[in-house]
């Protein structure tokens, strides 16, 4: 099957994608660590959706039109499309680097292959644009310029395939709660720690709710509860830190409001499922998911 062969080809690149990915990852973490507002902007926190996924269709569509314009012999339209496509590629790449900063393991290796292919395609398109100048609208573009853009499109398509693999196969930037039902039935809650019949105050406590794990934070008489699995990449919030009215994930530092699971800062772009907790007349507690 073609997909299995392609996976073997991608995995065979690990000798260089792993060290290069680790190096780029360290730099991006350092860079975005100093500019978290820029990371949140590029990653799409304000949109509640990964921005890179929204932007990538734009250059692919425009750059396909370069081939169409070249076939039609409209060299001026092809040059304009190429220039706009290059700008759109740069915009998509910036958003992609914000995603890349928090990839781990296999997803980081694949993302390294994806971004390398995209950088090579971008260099090819830039060369193709240079080869078209000065643009003479009455003449078709040179064969070298046309073939450079065709080869660049093939590399771009290969890069897009690998990028799709990072999301659809490896689940990078997919909400960890994508398939969680919205059930609102009250279920018995089993906190991992109870002292003198009470949940300890002011620190995250793990609790079992049926098949789900929650994190509880007691504030006086109120018990706040979120799903324990961080929506970003699955970090355990019960091992995180309480920061004011929020809890910070221990893996990549996303913060969620304890009262309702609303995302406060990335790299997550998703809210966290929140639960309401009440004491049972017979003792102990029960909880159910809050309706969003």
Q: Is 268 in the site for ligand FES (CB under 6 A)?
A: yes
**Separation between Cα atoms, residue 140 and residue 132, nearest integer Å:** 9
Q: Closest separation between CB of residue 15 and ligand FES, Å?
A: 27
Q: Identify the residue whose tokens are 């997550």.
A: 268
Report how far residue 20's alpha carbon sits from residue 14's, in angstroms, rounded to the nearest whole number.
Answer: 10
By rule CB under 6 A, what string of x and - marks binding of each residue 97-126 to ligand FES? -----x------------------------
Q: Which two tokens stand for residue 188?
A: 């018995």
Please pick, from the candidates 39, 110, 218, 252, the single residue that binds ligand FES as defined by CB under 6 A: 252
Q: Does residue 78 touch ligand FES according to CB under 6 A?
A: no
Q: Give the residue with the Cβ less far from ligand FES, 85 or 204.
A: 204
Secondary structure tally for the chain: helices H, strands E: 8, 10
Cis ω before 9 (30° cut-off from 0): no
Tell me whether the omega of the peptide bond preceding residue 193 falls within 30 degrees of 0, making it cis: no
Judged by beta carbon, residue 39 or residue 114, the one nearer ligand FES is 39
Among the candidate windows 18-26, 79-87, 149-157, 226-234, which touches ligand FES by CB under 6 A? Answer: 226-234
What six digits make up the tokens of 8? 């073997």
Asked whether position 255 contacts ligand FES by CB under 6 A, the answer is no
Task: From 43-51, 127-135, 146-154, 227-235, give the range in contact with ligand FES by CB under 6 A.
Answer: 227-235
Least Cβ distance, residue 172 to ligand FES (angstroms) = 11
DSSP 24-93: HHHHHHHHHHH-HHHHHHHHTTTTTS-HHHHHTHHHHHHHHHHHHHHHHT-HHHHHHHHHHHHHHHHHHH
Which one of 2-10, 122-130, 199-207, 229-237 is the stretch in contact with ligand FES (CB under 6 A)?
229-237
* Residues 192 and 207: beta-carbon distance below 8 Å: yes
* Listed ranges 144-152, 201-209, 230-238, 280-288: which one lies at the site for ligand FES (CB under 6 A): 230-238
Report the distance separating Cα 125 and Cα 132, nearest Å: 11
Which stretch of DSSP H or E encloses residue 218? strand 212-219
Buried/exposed 230-250: b ≥16 CB within 10 Å, e otherwise: bbbbebbbbebeeeeebbbbe
* Residue ranges in 22-51 that form contacts with ligand FES under rule CB under 6 A: none
Interaction between residue 272 and ligand FES (CB under 6 A):
no
Interacting residue with ligand FES among 36, 183, 234, 244 (CB under 6 A): 234
Query: Which listed residue (25, 108, 218, 232) binds ligand FES by CB under 6 A?
Result: 232
The footprint of ligand FES (CB under 6 A) covers: 102, 230, 232-235, 249, 251-252, 254, 267-268
């Amino acid at each position: 099957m073609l997909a299995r062969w392609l996976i073997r080809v991608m995995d065979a690149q690990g000798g260089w994608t792993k060290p290069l990915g680790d190096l780029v990852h360290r730099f991006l973490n350092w860079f975005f660590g100093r500019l978290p507002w820029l990371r949140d902007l590029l990653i799409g926190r304000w949109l509640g959706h990964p921005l890179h996924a929204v932007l990538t269709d734009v250059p692919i569509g425009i750059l396909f039109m370069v081939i169409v314009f070249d076939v039609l012999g409209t060299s001026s339209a092809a040059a304009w499309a190429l220039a706009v496509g290059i700008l759109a590629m740069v915009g998509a790449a910036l958003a992609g680097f914000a995603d890349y900063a928090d990839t781990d393991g296999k997803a980081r290796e694949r993302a390294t292959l994806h971004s390398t292919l995209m950088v090579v395609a971008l260099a090819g398109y830039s060369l193709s644009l240079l080869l078209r100048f000065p643009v003479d609208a009455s003449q078709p573009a040179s064969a070298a310029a046309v073939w450079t853009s065709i080869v660049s499109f093939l590399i771009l398509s290969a890069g897009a395939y690998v990028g799709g693999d990072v999301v659809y196969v490896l689940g990078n930037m997919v909400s960890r709660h994508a398939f969680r039902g919205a059930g609102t039935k009250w279920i018995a809650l089993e906190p991992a720690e109870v002292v003198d019949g009470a949940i300890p105050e002011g620190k995250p406590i793990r609790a079992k709710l049926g098949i789900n794990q929650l994190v509880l934070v007691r504030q006086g008489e109120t018990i706040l509860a979120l799903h324990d699995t961080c929506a970003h990449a699955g970090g355990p919030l019960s091992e995180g830190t309480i920061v004011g009215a929020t809890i910070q994930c221990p893996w990549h530092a996303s913060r969620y409001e304890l009262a309702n699971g609303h995302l406060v800062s990335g790299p997550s772009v998703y809210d966290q499922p929140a639960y309401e907790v009440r004491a049972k007349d017979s003792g102990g507690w029960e909880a159910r998911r809050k309706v969003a």
